[in-house]
Structure 1
Amino acid sequence: MGARPGAAERRRASGPDPAGSRGYESFGGGVAEFASESSPWWRPRPTAPAGSPNVIVMLVDDLGFSDLGPFGSEIPTPNIDALADDGWVFTNYRTAPMCSPARAALLTGLNPHRAGFGFVAHTDPGYPGFTCELPDDAPTLAESLRAGGYATFAVGKWHLTLESRLHDAADRSSWPLQRGFDRYFGSMDGFTSLHHPHRLVRDNSVVDVQQFPDGYFLTDQLTDEALAMIDELRVNDAEKPFFLYYAHTSVHGPIQAKPVDIERHRGRYEAGWNALRESRFARQRELGIVPPHAELPGDALADGDRIPHWEHLGDDERALFARHMEVYAAAVDEVDQSVGRLVAHLEDLGERENTVIVIASDNGGTAEGGPSGTRSYFAQFGHSAPLPDGWVRDVPRDPEEIGGPRVFSQYPTGWARVSNTPFRSFKSSTYEGGVHAPLIVSWPEAPVAARGLRDQFVFVSDLSPTILDLVGVPPLAELRGRPAQEIDGRSVAGVLRDPAAEGRAAQYFECVGRRAMVDGEWKAVSPEPPRREEGAAGGRWELYHLADDPTETRDLAADRPERVADLAERWRSEAWRNTVFPLDDDGTLHSTRPATEAALAAPVALVPFRAPLERFRSAQLTVLKSFAVEATVVVGPDTAGVVVAHGDQGGGYLLGIEDGAPFLSYNAYGEMHRAIGPVLAPGTRELVLHVDESEGLRWRLRLEVDGERSAEIAGVPMLLGMAPFTGISVGYDYGGPVDWELHERHGDGFRFSGGAIERLRYVPGARSRHDPTVLRRIGEAVAELAD
């Protein structure tokens, strides 16, 4: 790369110079002078040293240890394979057991709880380790690199802002641009539909695109946006290095892919999950990814009670389950394609050789789909209320629709075990299956000859200091006028240079009360929270000697009680240092939420044809409660269209007018219910949709027109947890349609026309007795003490 500009730029003073140096007070009648370098008004702009490398960090969501070619997968990943062939493949990389904690640790270099993320960014029970907000005194990797003269870009999943601060009037201090990124495009939530994203944000504003064209696919747009950011930088500055944080929404549920990519994997998984797991394990041994003495845990240890035997399944079940994995493989394939497009573009620019590329997963593969998988993702994901008997977790649909825009799916637990080959358990567990993940580093121009496999222990909080070390940028010493926290991660750049260099020695893990402590060759695991009377280091612990038994097949706790006690106490000490407490020892910690969220559940009037109300804000009006929607509508002879819609193909409801008559559509996680009322008389009509809770977590929908009953849908399952996922849109059905048949008849969101929506108001009712949420005045007692 050519030399970068070396002269510092000066900026003009905007008023009188208090130091008395040459400046200006106004443009008066002459040429304004620049302040001198001795003036406090003069500040050099950061300029990276000539030849500084670009940095790309690609984080893939819920990707299992064995899902990429360099780690034993049968899924073709030629572009990632090429990076691995000329880079470093880390076989002993560990991360946090869940996504937000891993992302916070990656970007700050802090351990997850010290970074505020002992859990995903959905709760704030009032404790330092669970604020779900990045600390103000913890510089992100982007903030340090920007201070070092880098352009900083982010695309994809953010999931580092508390969900109650994602709406359009929220404090944006934890949004990407306020945490060091110059540009951002993606989904602020933990996941979204790839065919019809529920909400996209560009920089600090929601993208007001009301419909997506046929064939739209989010992964493609994320890559397009990343390439555009690079191009727009290069048009204006040919030398400035950039940092690109590309956080894929794949392969988190709902797992979706493009038809052409799914077709490439058809028939690949007919032999079933046991055969595939064994073949991946054999490949891993050939590649040296696992040592020769490693054992593949048998069913008794590896969740066999949660996984049907393939040979006992019927033909239809095998075809259904194989389709789930074909779609998952296609999604991984699409991640690889995005890598190929980025690398090809860097080659066109002549910048591939001097670009550091890091590819990793945020946690292990997930068992969220359950033993049979699901085509109704929200029917069993993210619920706080216990589900009643008879709840349908997988609404039957044609398996061919899995992966497409009509189905929100998640693969079965058997395939999740394959993803995590050769390890035990899954995402959110502190066994290796939850925390052992792939990591690849590539930098062709690095002044290092020794590339290849690395088996040193590296933790996710080591990535930020390692990148800063590689590119020669110091971490910020202070942020917002405060000294920066001392980070927990340490650079492992030396491991790239020397295969014999030491990695980290120890690391604690915790997730919803599950605990683990790695110290050298030993690991203690406590797979469930202790009872309160047992104390933080108490409860049942298992012990594994990872050097001899990397897949945790032989529990040595009974033979080494002293070592178990030492590691348990070491974990307790680390937990205190890292603000891990209190443990979620009774499953209620994350039911506590800030009382400030109560305002989000107040009655609200919405404006037609605006961008949808944000997901969490919308949910506060409807989830686990009765509610009413009041609309004043002017009806004419040609009035038609959606009055209000909330949700998508994963679950939702819609009120509209078609052929002069009002109608209701209710999508119960994929099962459609519809009702039509009498034709409306012209004039101003008062429509009220009553949605009332009944026993068994069910709703009854009643539409009244001018006080008279018009249409009714009785006895449908409530939409719970993350559903409805797409927010409330007035005057059209945004994005993924609630009612696919209606979408096919009218398209374009069936935009309301031929009349007017003069008023639309949501009036939430009483909360369900099944809602465990407790609102508390979090933070106020501290403020009072400070006063």
Structure 2
Amino acid sequence: MSKSTHDHRMRGAVLVCVLSACAASMAGAQEQGAMDRTILPILPPAAAPITEVDARKATLPKPFSVTAPEGAPNVVIVLIDDLGFGATSSFGGPITTPSLDALADEGLRFTAFHTAALCSPTRAALKSGRNHHVASMGFITELATGFPGATGKIPNSVAPLAEILRLNGYSTAAFGKWHETAAWETSVSGPYDRWPTHQGFDKFYGFIGGETNQWAPYVIDGVTPVEPPERPDYHFMTDMTDQSIKWIRHQQAMTPDKPFFVYFAPGAVHAPHHVPQEWIDRWKGRFDQGWDALREQTLARQIEAGVVPQGTVLAPKPEAIRDWDDLSQDERRLFARQAEVFAAFTEYTDHEIGRMIQTIGDLDEMDNTLVFYIAGDNGTSAEGGENGMYNEYTYFNGVAEQVSDMLPLIDKWGRPETYPHMASGWAVALNTPFTWTKQVASNFGGTRVGMVVHWPEAIKRGGEVRPQFSHVIDVAPTILEAAGLPEPTSVNGTEQTPMDGVSLLYTFDDAQAPERRTTQYFEIAGNRGVYHDGWFAGTIHKAPWEAKPRNTLEGDVWELYDVRSDFSLSRDLAAENPDKLAEMQALFLDEARRNNVLPIDDRSFERMTDHPVGVGRPDLFAGRNSITLAKGMTGMLESAFLNVKNRSVTIEADVVVPEGGANGTIIAQGGRFGGWSLYMKDGVPGYTYNLLGMRTFDIAASDPLPPGEAKLRLDFAYDGGGPGKGGKAILHVNDKAVAEGRIENTQAGVFSADETADVGVDLGTAVVEAVGSGEASHFTGDIPRVTLTLK
């Protein structure tokens, strides 16, 4: 920050050593009583009526504007996806993260910081200060239900931090992953209430769903889809960083006295693990020791660095994770490569974060910028299963990939030809010293991640550790206290549900301060637990790689740990202390009732594959069995499109073929790693069903269509008998059958998280490589009408 800007912001505010007084002093004497910030938006004072006729003689009213309190810091929240406690070098892990390390050296490392164990719930809690069920985000948005704690629709009574800051005079921007918009609200029809620009952000550049192809993302700028440049070196991580740098510089050029809030949430390091080759090459051979040795090495570094207590032992691995020494040579070679790519992706992501942070430093704004670098929205993901995957969508469609299937792709791992995930053994290792992983809310391996807080003007003893129990819901109250802002009671006309979080400012200059978060519940799809006064109780209801729960909800086996002496949750005390366990189970139920957790819903794939109405989720196509589209209608995400899976369907297309013939996509859904397309190649109509990028089924005519109007029809008769079955496809031209064939299997669960359905083009990656995607796939004729009808 320049000296003049610094002096302007800090006039009337003096930093004092007691941080509870610091926030109040930063508000400035002139702020006290000047405006009521508990009711947002802040209304201008009532003006007396003007009776003077002549403007030359009239007194100008005093101008009114809402500005942030004097000295309010800039705020940056960095949120990495799917990265566990034992991954980064800042927390003893094997992956070098120099940007995080640099912030930690000058800031504070929080070693008992927790998430909700899954992405959408964590994000909703982080940005609202409320527990995730209070924010109606009990699971990911695509698997929402009709129950109050899991509707996927953030209520107006849970105003997000960004909106609170915006209405208090901040500029606000979000970059990267969102995944908080109700899945059925992602179409062109909206509503846009839960899109980023209606959730408090002036600027959004990123993707709406849960993950994206980093080489070919479906990018939204505000509410408008934009096509990324088609160049060989394009990668979304660099693109979103460039966009954030541009916005920060522009905002500071226009309004240097106005603080900014940046939410920087990469899709990394969620699958797919996509990373430039030069970053992968840096990690060759560095995971050959295997995951068992890696756990031991990591724990030793964690103890040495003081991020875990002396005497901490490794909690046992899940029984399903085999010993590295028992693996075959091919398995070790493949799995080591998977870890190399993941580590490269993490290091590359940290590098890009460093570029964004450096921009703030170049603008001389770092001293008064409060940075939260949260190294994981949950523990590292074990959704790769026993062997990992070259295509992550095999997991969501119940298809197991074999090592022999993946070995031929080992040199392409992480490149555009793959959509990869790693074996679950690495997830456990990167959550050291804990047992479990993402999705397992009943173990710290699923919920505990590393967090660094950096704020030079308020943190005077950098490089220290803070061991107090904390949670993502504590971030929003911390920011409000730091900015000298009250928690509002009403926002945009809606009375607010009070925040559940507790400000962490009390820890900033006191490593030994008694923790103020003494109770916290956790729950994801039946994996549930509760923390209270140093004790933790939980039950492992279902592992991420398991198709079914281990027990009924009533029959679950609970574990009990004394966290004060057992950091890693390695010694289950349930059998020897049943009274304490019963007390903790009762406490969980109390918290569950209070926070809309009930009823507990342990369905996962059922919520995905069942008709939405069956679980109480709204459906744009409820009561309809067809949709009629035309050329130019593109960017339709899967949750906001007619569901053609596991049923018979007819596709009818009216096309106009120009002189010289037509080429390109007529209609497509999905992409390289799963989908279908009706198209013309060299004037010849065809239909391809791409099964998870593993196999394609092609039905094509023999002759090209002449110039003029034509009617195409593809009839697919589904075999029935359950999800993912095959069927017979017949292609007609002007009501004459011209080709037919079998489609042996179909995708039961999902085509893609962010590949879209498009008419007249195939956005993202290509369903049919010979037709291509983007500009290459544009249909050269006209498409007045395309109708899909379910049978």
Q: Structure 1-normalised TM-score?
A: 0.88
1:582-621 alignment to 2 at 5 Å? Answer: 582-584=599-601, 592-599=615-622, 602-618=625-641, 620-621=642-643
Give matches, 1:535-614, under 5 Å: 539-584=556-601, 592-599=615-622, 602-614=625-637
1:463 aligned to 2:490? no
Checking the alignment, whether the CA contact within 8 Å between 1:84 and 1:441 is kept in structure 2 is yes
Please give the secondary structure, in 2, of the residue aligned with 1:114: coil
Contact 1:272 1:310 in 2 (8 A): yes
Secondary structure in structure 2 of the residue aligned to 1:498: coil
State the one-letter code of the partner of 1:507.
Q
The equivalences for 1:352-391 within 5 A come to 352-360=366-374, 361-381=376-396, 383=397, 387=398
Map 1:408-487; keep pairs closer than 5 Å: 408-429=419-440, 430-446=442-458, 448-449=460-461, 451-487=463-499
Indicate the SS of the match to 1:118.
Answer: coil
Q: Indicate the SS of the match to 1:497.
A: coil
Partner letter of residue 384 of structure 2? G
After superposition, give the CA deviation of every residue in 1:553-600 in whole Å (9 maximum; x if it has no partner).
221111111101111111111111111100125666785033553349
Call closer, same or farther: CA 1:480–1:52 in 2, change over 3 Å. Answer: closer
Is 1:193 the equivalent of 2:213?
A: yes
> Which of 634, 639, 644 is the matching residue for 2:667?
644
1:288 equivalent in structure 2: 306
The counterpart of 1:240, out of the listed 255, 258, 263, is: 258
**Is the CA contact 2:152–2:181 (under 8 Å) kept in the aligned structure 1?**
yes
Contact 1:602 1:621 in 2 (8 A): no
Alpha-carbon distance in 1 for matches of 2:195, 2:51: 37
- Once the 2 structures are TM-superposed, how far is the Cα of residue 49 of structure 1 from its aligned partner? 3.3
Q: Is the 8 A contact 2:762 2:774 kept in 1?
A: no
Tell me by how many angstroms 1:681 deviates. 3.8
**Cα distance in 1 between the residues matched to 2:631 and 2:50:** 55
- Give the Cα–Cα distance (whole angstroms) in 1 for the partners of residues 404 and 262 of structure 2: 38
1:734-771: CA deviation from partner (whole Å, max 9, x where unpaired): 1211133543xx87332221x32232122123xxxxxx
Equivalents in 1 of 2:573, 2:461: separation in Å?
40
Instruction: Indicate the residue corresponding to 2:535 in structure 1.
Output: 522
Structure 1 residue 179 and structure 2 residue 199: aligned?
A: yes
2:744 maps to what in 1? Answer: 716
Greater shift, 586-595 or 82-91, is seen at: 586-595
Q: Deviations over 1:409-429 (max 9, x none)?
A: 111101111111110111111
**1:630 paired to 2:652:** yes
Distance in 2 (CA, whole Å) between partners of 1:479 and 1:252 is 33
Deviation at 1:229, TM superposition (A): 1.4
8 Å contact kept, 1:4–1:49: no
Helix, strand or coil for the counterpart of 1:291? coil
Report the secondary structure of 1:740's partner residue: coil
Range 608-617 or range 589-598, more displaced:
589-598
- Taking a change above 3 Å as real, the CA distance of residues 405 and 32 of structure 1, as seen in their structure-2 partners, is farther
Structure 1 match to 2:71: 51
Please tell me whether the aligned partners of residues 537 and 568 of structure 1 are also in contact (alpha carbons under 8 angstroms).
no
Q: Distance in 1 between matches of 2:711 and 2:778?
A: 19
1:706 aligns with 2:717: no
Instruction: Return the alpha-carbon distance in structure 1 between the equivalents of residues 83 and 46 of structure 2.
Output: 57
Q: Using a 3 Å threshold, how does the CA distance of structure 1 residues 740 and 406 change in structure 2: closer, same or farther?
A: farther
Residue 749 of structure 1 corresponds to: 776
Gaps of 5+ in 2: 12-29, 35-44, 543-547
Q: Identity across aligned pairs (percent)?
A: 32
Task: Write out per-residue CA displacement over residues 495-531 of structure 1, whole angstroms, 9 at most, x where no aligned residue.
Answer: 11101112221211111122211112211112228x9
Larger deviation: 414-423 or 681-690? 681-690
Per the alignment, residue 251 of structure 1 pairs with 269
Q: Taking structure 1 as reference, are residues 546 and 552 closer, same or farther at Cα in structure 2, changes over 3 Å only?
A: same
CA distance in 2 between counterparts of 1:32 and 1:505 reads: 63
Question: For structure 1, which segment, 392-401 or 224-233, has the greater mean C-alpha deviation from structure 2 after superposition?
Answer: 392-401
Counterpart amino acid of 1:409? P
Distance (whole Å) between structure 1 residues aligned to residue 8 and residue 99 of structure 2: 30
The alpha carbon displacement at 1:703 in A equals 1.7
- For residue 716 of structure 2, what is the aligned residue in structure 1? 691
Q: Which amino acid aligns with 1:645?
A: A
Q: Can you give the 5+ residue segments of structure 1 that lack an aligned partner in the other structure?
A: 10-16, 766-787
What one-letter code is carried by the residue in structure 2 that aligns with 1:285?
A: I
Q: Is the 8 A contact 1:375 1:394 kept in 2?
A: no
Instruction: State the partner residue of 1:90.
Output: 110
Aligned length: 734
Amino acid at match of 1:251: V
Deviation at 1:713, TM superposition (A): 4.1
Residue 319 of structure 2 corresponds to 304
Pairing partner for 1:150 from 161, 170, 186 = 170
Distance across 2 between alignment mates of 1:32 and 1:261: 70
Q: Are positions 1:127 and 2:147 aligned together?
A: yes
What's the secondary structure of 1:594's corresponding residue?
Answer: coil
Instruction: Point out the more displaced range, 208-217 or 554-563.
Output: 208-217
Asked if the contact 1:668/1:716 (under 8 Å) is kept, the reply is no
Contact 1:137-1:480 at 8 Å conserved across structures = no
**Alpha-carbon distance between aligned partners in 1 of 2:271 and 2:446, rounded to the nearest angstrom:** 16
Contact in 1 for aligned 2:142/2:639 (Cα 8 Å): no
The one-letter code sitting in structure 1 at the alignment partner of 2:468 is Q
Residue 338 of structure 2 is matched in structure 1 by 324
Q: Does the CA contact (< 8 Å) of 1:653 and 1:666 recur in 2? A: yes
1:728 equivalent to 2:754? Answer no
Conserved 8 A contact 2:115-2:447:
yes
Tell me what 2:27 maps to. none
CA distance in 2, matches of 1:715, 1:450: 61
CA drift at 1:201: 1.6
Counterpart AA for 2:79: L
8 A contact 1:450–1:498 mirrored in 2: no
Question: Over residues 301-357 of structure 1, what are the superposed CA-to-partner deviations in whole Å (9 max), with x where a residue is unaligned?
Answer: x2132x233233333322221221111111111221122101221121111222111
Name 2:789's counterpart in structure 1: 763
Letter in 2 for 1:641: G
Task: State how far apart, in whole Å, the 2-side matches of 1:24 and 1:616 are.
Answer: 60
* Deviation string, structure 1 residues 342-383 (Cα, Å, up to 9, x no partner): 1221121111222111111211111111000011211222x5
CA distance in structure 2 between the partners assigned to 1:761 and 1:157 by the alignment: 32
Matched residue of 1:749: which SS?
helix
From 496, 509, 518, the counterpart of 2:508: 496
Distance across 2 between alignment mates of 1:668 and 1:267? 33
Q: Deviations over 1:109-129 (max 9, x none)?
A: 111111111111124422221
Secondary structure of 1:353 counterpart? helix
Q: 2: CA distance between counterparts of 1:262 and 1:279?
A: 22
Q: Measured at CA, do residues 34 and 192 of structure 1 come closer, stay the same or move farther in structure 2, by a change above 3 Å?
A: farther
Cα distance in 1 between the residues matched to 2:262 and 2:382: 30
Displacement of 1:68 = 1.2
- Distance between the aligned counterparts of 1:177 and 1:33, measured in 2? 40
Decide whether aligned partners of structure 1 residues 72 and 606 sit closer, same or farther in structure 2, where only a CA change above 3 A counts: same
Which aligned pairs between 1:109-120 and structure 2 lie closer than 5 A?
A: 109-120=129-140
Give the direction of change, closer, same or farther, for the CA distance of 1:234–1:401 in structure 2 (3 Å limit). Answer: same
State whether residues 649 and 667 of structure 1, in contact with CA within 8 Å, keep that contact through their aligned partners in structure 2.
yes
Relative to structure 1, the CA distance from residue 575 to residue 159 in structure 2 (aligned partners, 3 Å threshold; closer, same or farther) is: same
- Tell me if the contact between 2:302 and 2:308 (Cα under 8 Å) persists in the aligned partners: yes
Q: Does the CA contact (< 8 Å) of 2:271 and 2:419 recur in 1?
A: yes
Which residue is 1:678 aligned to?
702
Q: Structure 2 vs 1, CA of residues 23 and 644 (structure 1 numbering), >3 Å: closer, same or farther? A: farther
Distance apart, 1:235 and its partner CA? 2.0
2:96 corresponding residue in structure 1: 76
